[in-house]
Amino acid sequence: MAGFNRILGGAFALLLTLSSFAAPVVAQQPTLEIDVTGGVVEPVPFAIPGFIAENSASAAIASNITRVIAEDLLSTGLFREIPKAAHISGVSNFNAPVQFTDWRAINAQALVVGAVSSTGGRLTVKFRLWDVFAQAPMGDGVQLSGSPENWRRISHKVADAVYSRLTGETGYFDSKIVFVSETGPKNDRSKRLAIMDHDGAGLTYLTDDSSIVLAPRFSPNSRDILYTSYETGVPRVYLMNVDTLQRRVFDNLPGMGFAPRFSPDDRKIVLSISERGNTDIYTVDLQSGQRTRLTSGPSIDTAPSFSPDGSQIVFESDRGGSQQLYIMSASGGDAKRISFSNGRYATPVWSPRGDLIAFTKIVGGRFHIGVMRVDGSQERLLTASFIDEAPTWSPNGRVLMFFRVSSGANGAPQIYSVDITGRNLHQVPTPSFASDPAWSGLLK
């Protein structure tokens, strides 16, 4: 019997073995592994046929919207528009099948198709973005509507959506720049606050030129502006609402206030106050007006900037004998020096991403705009000029604006923009001289 059990056991084993062979077997193809190295760094070619005007009332505005979207994308330096003369096929209907072979033949990697209609005092813009080589849409189609006079904002929003889908980052086109507009000769320059779109369009002045204004800064909600004015003869910090132009002055400060900035939560400001020859950093609660001193000592501590999470502050100080960058807790205390190379550092600004700090560096008689990691490592100088100063971050942390002063007897400031890789340096158009730019967040 025991022998029979063994036989049964053996038979069971055979059954299991054979049943395992009966399982599905997939033959894997021969494989070949290749390391791809090199690559190219050049603008990505895209095509944007004119947005289709779905009624006669939108014919002119459709063309303008197409141009603003294209110009927004081109301004990044990441994209290159394929001229319309090279287009093989056009798009006459928003829902028409895309002839991918035609767009592929001219090496268009992305295709933006859109349509515009204007009915009942409402402007409607819709678009689709196509990956030509994958022959697939990149995300769903999007439709935006608004009043016809806001066609620029609608265009910027479309461009932001296209940019976001192509780069994986949020855009920055639907944003504002506040800056100091300067007019007149070099020895008698008039200054006033102005605000404009990121591309220089839609310029509006916020103050007159009766007094000198300095260093405007946007609030996180992009509706308020902090700035310094010599309206009363001494520098004072003002808070202005850009919608109502109502102002509030911080007149209870013990000395002269400079370089104010908002905290990320919009509830307080940080600034430097100069009192009896000593400059230190303070915070002021916007509700209660309570003032908190963060630094002390005989050194000059100024140009504070919050980290995006509000937990730390980067600032410049000469406490070590030369002008360097330091980081401390948002509640004050010990500061850690993060800049160590030759030269002087000024106007540090924390990136909205939180990974980099932009700064002005003065070395060898020249000014530079640069970035470094928050621990001071991997410093990169992006520009070099007679004077480059006061960087400000785009809402997505990808681009910096600053102002550059030309040399010579007639030297004057102009606003420039540069990518954090150091490429795509270009001047931002303004109707007059311009300095101290500050970039808002993305508008809501």
Q: How many CB atoms lie within 10 A of CB 345?
A: 27
DSSP string, 408-433: STT--EEEEEEETTS---EEPP-SSE
Instruction: Indicate which single residue of 46, 48, 162, 192 sits in contact with other proteins (rule: CB under 8 A).
Output: 192
Residues 6+ apart with CB under 8 A from 283: 263, 268, 269, 270, 291, 292, 294, 330
| 135 touching other proteins, by CB under 8 A | yes
Pick 34 or 85: Cβ nearer other proteins: 34
Q: In whole angstroms, how close is the CB of 194 to other proteins at the nearest point?
A: 9
**Using CB under 8 A, which residues numbered 353 to 392 contact other proteins?**
353, 355
| 145 touching other proteins, by CB under 8 A | yes
| 170 touching other proteins, by CB under 8 A | no
Instruction: Indicate which single residue of 191, 261, 368, 398 sits in contact with other proteins (rule: CB under 8 A).
Output: 398
Alpha helices, H only, 179-291: none
Asked if residue 349 lies in contact with residue 358, where contact means CB atoms within 8 angstroms, the answer is yes
Give Cα 345 to chain centroid, integer Å.
Answer: 22
Query: Quick one: which segment of 165-173, 283-291, 303-311, 319-327 binds other proteins (CB under 8 A)?
Result: 165-173
Query: Quick one: which segment of 240-248, 261-269, 294-302, 305-313 binds other proteins (CB under 8 A)?
Result: 240-248
Nearest to 396 by CA among 347, 358, 349, 354: 354
- Which residue's structure tokens are 């939560």? 265
Q: How many CB atoms lie within 10 A of CB 275?
A: 13
Nearest to 436 by CA among 319, 296, 261: 261
Residues 6+ apart with CB under 8 A from 246: 240
Q: In whole angstroms, how close is the CB of 199 to other proteins at the nearest point?
A: 7
**Using CB under 8 A, which residues numbered 402 to 431 contact other proteins?**
404, 406-408, 410-412, 414, 416, 419-421, 425-431
Pick 85 or 136: Cβ nearer other proteins: 136
Pick 47 or 330: Cβ nearer other proteins: 47
| 311 touching other proteins, by CB under 8 A | no
| 83 touching other proteins, by CB under 8 A | no
DSSP string, 252-286: --SSEEEEEEE-TTSSEEEEEEEETTEEEEEEEET
Query: Quick one: which segment of 206-214, 250-258, 283-291, 363-371 binds other proteins (CB under 8 A)?
Result: 206-214
Q: 72: which strand partners?
A: none
DSSP 8-class letter at 385: B
Instruction: Indicate which single residue of 55, 204, 232, 329 sits in contact with other proteins (rule: CB under 8 A).
Output: 204
Query: Quick one: which segment of 42-50, 255-263, 302-310, 325-333 binds other proteins (CB under 8 A)?
Result: 42-50
Site string for other proteins, 324-343 (x = CB under 8 A): --------------------
Instruction: Indicate which single residue of 49, 57, 87, 144 sits in contact with other proteins (rule: CB under 8 A).
Output: 144
Q: In whole angstroms, how close is the CB of 276 to other proteins at the nearest point?
A: 33
Size of the site for other proteins (CB under 8 A): 132
CA dihedral 315, 318, 323, 326 (to 10 degrees): -30
Indicate the SS3 state at residue 200: coil
| 1 touching other proteins, by CB under 8 A | no
Pick 13 or 59: Cβ nearer other proteins: 13
Asked if residue 196 lies in contact with residue 210, where contact means CB atoms within 8 angstroms, the answer is no
| 87 touching other proteins, by CB under 8 A | no
